A and B are shown apart, each in its own frame.
Chain A
């Protein structure tokens, strides 16, 4: 029953065998129930892992990477965000490529679907609200961070912008991340993000019953709270 080949089980599980050796061992497996059963048993071992909750945005990231190959169109249109700013410049285009964003956003939309309902905390009370749109925020330049912006319709028909971010670069001094809704270049302050350890932060901003004029959501890195117009650079953004 036990033979020399059984000794190779450990090498086989190490996954470092040369292909011909592996073929030979797989032939042994057909004949040796003992080795076969040990390998089958290893199929239960992953259940010993303690449950670790996956990050919320991981699914979007992974599936867009998986499907990325065939979605590549070969064209990378450069688009700009037009943003009227505090420093007097009426326009300050931010050069960026939307290709990657388009993919991720389309995917997030398809994943969440229209009927995606979730519980939002509202005055300490959980109420059912409906997400009507969700886009992935794309980092500008070399900025480290990721996020997702969603438009949620409450029971009263009011729309709330929810911005969830992860892995944002940490802040120094009075710096703060500020959320903006932008309509044709004109920004409106739409909340703040103060990432804790790990860079996660969420902002909610209720803005009315109509989405039509808001075309972009952007996050800037501001030197302080309370700016009515952006002073700092755009770090994350997405068209709505």
Chain B
């Protein structure tokens, strides 16, 4: 039996199919929960955000458009924005930069799902090509949801400089990831 695609599930959800929502939930529960725990460092808040995400999906708040990229990217963005809203609503003071955690953390669980593990390996390799400062930018900006204003304030670096550092870090990560993915694809094609 062919595995039903995310976009097919998404259109069934729009047609009020509960089983489809449950299936999508099963598919994304682990990655979204893990992502939210990394962002919020708070399991309860992570659950609250995850619930919000699935309520939005069910109510049709925010519409996925195939023209704008993959379903998973859309879902991750929606999840991240939901968590950022929750964090901002709680007006949690940003924790000091040095306590914000590391972008990559050596002691990953060995029981990760294969697909996840493969993606993680690839993106970790790309992350390792960044400077420590660039890694910090991505951890603070993308995962911790610090605005560039906050980072500037906390690090005493001018606003414009922070903004371009974030952009450069993201751009470099994109380049190294593309490079690795192309190499990976060539590797597969050559059958090695």
Known: A48-B103, A52-B38, A67-B58. 14 other contacts (CB 8 A): A7-B167, A9-B167, A13-B170, A38-B170, A43-B76, A45-B123, A46-B35, A48-B124, A50-B109, A53-B30, A59-B26, A63-B21, A66-B51, A111-B22
Q: Does A123 contact B (CB under 8 A)?
A: no
A-facing mask of B79-90, CB < 8 A → 1, else 0? Answer: 111001100000
Query: Closest residue to A53 on the B side, CB-wise?
Result: B30
B-facing mask of A39-75, CB < 8 A → 1, else 0? Answer: 1111111111111111100110111011100000000
Q: Is there an interface contact between B120 and A47, defined as CB atoms closer than 8 Å?
A: yes
Write 27 A-B pairs (CB below 8 A) sorted by A numbering: A7-B167, A10-B141, A13-B170, A14-B148, A38-B174, A39-B73, A41-B170, A41-B173, A41-B178, A44-B123, A44-B177, A46-B79, A47-B31, A48-B124, A48-B127, A49-B37, A49-B38, A50-B107, A51-B111, A52-B34, A53-B30, A55-B43, A58-B33, A58-B47, A63-B25, A66-B55, A66-B58
Q: Is there an interface contact between A37 and B51, defined as CB atoms closer than 8 Å?
A: no
Q: Does B155 contact A (CB under 8 A)?
A: no
What size tier do the contact residues of chain A reach?
A: 35 or more
Residues of B with C-beta under 8 A to A44: 119, 122-123, 177
Q: Is there an interface contact between A51 and B18, defined as CB atoms closer than 8 Å?
A: no
Q: Is there an interface contact between A42 and B163, defined as CB atoms closer than 8 Å?
A: no
Interface residues of A (CB under 8 A from B): 6-7, 9-10, 13-16, 34, 37-55, 58-59, 61-63, 65-67, 111
Best-surrounded residue of A6, A7, A54 (most CB of chain B within 10 A): A54
Residues of A with C-beta under 8 A to B20: none
Instruction: Tell me the interface secondary structure of chain A in the complex.
Output: helix
A186 vs chain B, min Cβ distance (A): 38
Q: Does B69 contact A (CB under 8 A)?
A: yes
Q: Is there an interface contact between B33 and A54, defined as CB atoms closer than 8 Å?
A: yes
Interface residues of B (CB under 8 A from A): 18, 21-22, 25-26, 29-35, 37-38, 43, 46-47, 50-51, 54-55, 58, 69-70, 72-73, 76-77, 79-81, 84-85, 103-105, 107-109, 111-113, 116, 119-120, 122-124, 127, 138, 141-143, 147-148, 163-164, 166-167, 170-171, 173-174, 177-178
Q: Is there an interface contact between B142 and A13, defined as CB atoms closer than 8 Å?
A: yes
Residues of B with C-beta under 8 A to A67: 18, 58
B128 vs chain A, min Cβ distance (A): 12
Q: Is there an interface contact between A62 and B108, defined as CB atoms closer than 8 Å?
A: no
Q: Is there an interface contact between B163 and A10, defined as CB atoms closer than 8 Å?
A: yes
Query: Closest residue to A47 on the B side, CB-wise?
Result: B119
B148 vs chain A, min Cβ distance (A): 6
Q: Is there an interface contact between A49 and B25, defined as CB atoms closer than 8 Å?
A: no
